[in-house]
A and B are shown apart, each in its own frame.
Chain A
Amino acid sequence: MRPATVSAGEGTPRTRPNSYWTRVSARVRADPVVIGCLAFLAAIALCALFAGSVAPSDPFQSDIVSRLRPIATAGFPLGSDELGRDMLSRLIYGARLSLLMGLLPVVAAFIIGTVLGTIAGYMGGFVNALIMRVVDVFYAFPSVLLAVAISGFLGSGVTNIIIAMTVVFVPPISRIAESVTNQIRSREFVAAARASGATPGMIVHTHVLPNVIGPVFVYATSLVSVSIVVASGLSLLGLGPKPPQAEWGLMLNSLRSAFSINPLVAALPGLFIFMTSLSFNLVSDSLRAAISVKA
């Protein structure tokens, strides 16, 4: 929350707000590739949110007779899977779980990681050492290995994948938050705030956090694509939702044997994972470029 907004009353000439985020988003919006990606992601999100209305058929309706129909068959715009279910509908429904497993861990890790990192960075000393050493231990695992380890032991299921991926992402986010907080803490305006007698809580809230959240957020966006790919990969291993649920990684797994029969249809779930991941990466890259331009 910002401190008291100072409005200058009547007769103030209207100026466009020139805050940090308006400038960043202006730069991002200028890139046509990014606009395209955002449009695609919006479409996927809409599919996920309104799957029931968007999907043409029932994703669980199987019909063995119509298994593995090619793309553009009547009644199966994107073909059918190994149990005769409509691919398009399953892909649309699949977006729900795939996006959930991809986005939620990053969001959760963003919150947890920023809090941990900011506390560690601002307080320094023993608290910092304690938090960061624990973070280091988890950071010492390769991410896929850690994700497999946690969900392998917890058991399969969407919740467990989300938990595992969150644990994987908290350490890198904490590190970035701690590093940025350290830099901000030594800036003169923080010293000025301390000299003015504000409590540490107020200083962190008004001065430190707003300056930390930006860079950490942009870093977090670069993790979304990894999260989607790895989460779907865990699903592929059987650690995710169970059949007959629709989820892109799971679908890819069950269509593996179908690759020799109808490769185009079998490749579709992976294609969607790829395109979603690519879009997130392009947007994230653009954001990173936008904030590193000096004002």
Chain B
Amino acid sequence: MSESLRQDLAPILAARALKKHFGIRRGWLRRATLHAVDGVSFEVAPGEVLGIVGESGCGKSTVARILVGLVEPDEGSLKLDDIEIAVGNRRGVNQVRKQIQMVFQDSFASLNPRLTLGESIAFTASARGASRRASAERALALLAAVGLDPSRFAHRYPHEASGGQRQRVNIARSLAGDPRVLVLDEAVSALDKSIEAQILNLLQDLKEEMHLTYLFISHDLHVVRYMSDRVAVMYLGKVVESGNAADVMSMPLHPYTSALVRATPTGDPARRVAKPPLEGEPPSAIDLPSGCRFRSRCPRAQAMCAEQEPALRFEGLRQVACHFPL
């Protein structure tokens, strides 16, 4: 589907100004607030893959957890097909929320070591109300769908399978409830490169077969560019740039995105990076700098950047939060 066609369809998932703060204790009596997610908005069209990139600590995992309901946002709205699911634990909301499922990064920790692989998948199916028999059959079918031979894998325990195989099981499990949206939180980051490629291909096949929408979260730009149609770049709890994946990667508008792209090894020895594109470390999400969050590391920062925080605004088909975009 072409880019413009996708934009015409109503978004399946729409997040507006999501905020999540954590109160933390510093030393004895002082409390501080960790601004994990500080006003994040995005939209995802049906059948699309939205990539979310950023360094660790930028809040992308918290966003993922908000999406599947493991964390409740303090403010903001999240709509699936225009139904609000961000707040509350009411039954109707829970039913809708189940249409978003997640695949976690640690394939081993995501599986109960006491259950066989088949049982883990079946549990998710029966959590949606299926009978024991139907769950068992569904589990076998899903194992086959993710490329694992059910007769060999259904009885195995997590410690008897490799990382790639376990991740396939996790994917199968997330599909057990017939979701429409899949959140992949660093789902391939812990795998060997060759396995990673297989899993990515599997994900793409599944997306087409089952008409899924993906949110692909990673810190690895290559993988994100490969998988995503559009991408959102996060920094310290906010989205700083978003747009078509290829465009954002090849022609970044935000200084941070540009630095990220330049810092990513390309495998081309001719393109050596003279000095690190980004200096210093990200400021802590607790003591945020005034104005633009990135100004302390930005080579283009000026006086205005310290005074006023740039809002995310449109530049053509892209969105950028910068006073002086590239």
A-side residues, CB < 8 A to B, are 2-9, 11-13, 15, 17-20, 187-189, 191-199, 202, 206-207, 210-211, 295
Contacts and interface: CB of A to CB of B under 8 A. Distances in A.
A6 B114 contact: no
A111 to B, nearest CB: 20
Interface in B112-149: 112-116, 118-128, 132-133, 135-136, 139-140
A27 to B, nearest CB: 16
B150 A8 contact: yes
Closest 5 CB pairs of A and B: A6-B118, A4-B132, A198-B127, A188-B109, A197-B98
Interface string B157-192: 101100000000010011011000000000000000
Given A19-B114, A189-B111, A189-B112, A195 B70 contact: yes
Contact of B119 (A2, A8, A295): A2
Contacts of B121: 6
A210 B115 CA distance: 9
B115 A196 contact: no
A6 B122 contact: yes
B151 A13 contact: yes
Interface stretch (B11-19, B99-107, B238-246, B316-324): B99-107
Given A4-B119, A197-B94, A197-B177, A189 B135 contact: no
Nearest to B151: A8
A9 B151 contact: yes
A211 B140 contact: no
B60 interface: no
A18 B68 CA distance: 33
A110 to B, nearest CB: 19
Nearest to A3: B123
A196 B151 contact: no
A3 B122 contact: yes
Contacts of B111: 189, 192
Interface of B: 68-70, 94, 97-98, 101-102, 104, 106, 109-116, 118-128, 132-133, 135-136, 139-140, 150-152, 154-155, 157, 159-160, 170, 173-174, 176-177
A177 B198 CA distance: 41
Main secondary structure of the interface of B (DSSP, over half): helix
Contacts of A189: 109-112, 120
Given A192-B110, A197-B127, A6 B140 contact: yes
Main secondary structure of the interface of A (DSSP, over half): loop
Contacts of B159: 295
Residue with the greatest number of chain A CB neighbours at <10 A, chosen from B121, B123, B125, B136: B123
Nearest to B97: A197
A210 B132 contact: no
16 contacts: A4-B119, A4-B125, A5-B119, A6-B119, A7-B136, A8-B150, A11-B151, A189-B109, A191-B104, A196-B128, A197-B94, A197-B97, A197-B128, A197-B177, A202-B127, A210-B112
B121 to A, nearest CB: 8
Given A192-B104, A207-B112, A4 B126 contact: yes
Contacts of B160: 18
A6 B112 contact: no
A90 to B, nearest CB: 45
Contact of B135 (A4, A17, A198): A4
B98 A196 contact: yes
Contact of B109 (A187, A196, A199): A187
A17 B68 CA distance: 34
A189 B109 CA distance: 6
A8 B109 CA distance: 25
B173 A192 contact: yes
A194 B98 CA distance: 10
Contacts of B104: 188, 191-192
Given A189-B110, A196-B173, A198-B127, A6 B157 contact: no
A3 B70 contact: no
A189 B108 CA distance: 9
A98 to B, nearest CB: 35
Contacts of A9: 151
B151 A192 contact: no
A206 B133 CA distance: 17
Residue with the greatest number of chain B CB neighbours at <10 A, chosen from A7, A197, A198: A197
B119 A196 contact: no
B133 A4 contact: yes
Given A6-B122, A6-B139, A8-B150, A195 B115 contact: no
A7 B132 CA distance: 12
A89 B78 CA distance: 76
Contacts of B154: 6-8
Contacts of A295: 113, 159
Contacts of A197: 94, 97-98, 127-128, 177
A192 B155 CA distance: 20
Given A4-B133, A6-B139, A193 B70 contact: no
B70 A191 contact: yes
A195 B152 CA distance: 27
A2 B115 contact: yes
A211 B97 contact: no
B290 to A, nearest CB: 35
Contact of B157 (A18, A191, A196, A199): A18
Contacts of A206: 112, 115, 123
A40 B41 CA distance: 69
Residue with the greatest number of chain B CB neighbours at <10 A, chosen from A2, A11, A211: A2
Given A13-B151, A192-B173, A193-B123, A8 B140 contact: yes
B224 to A, nearest CB: 22
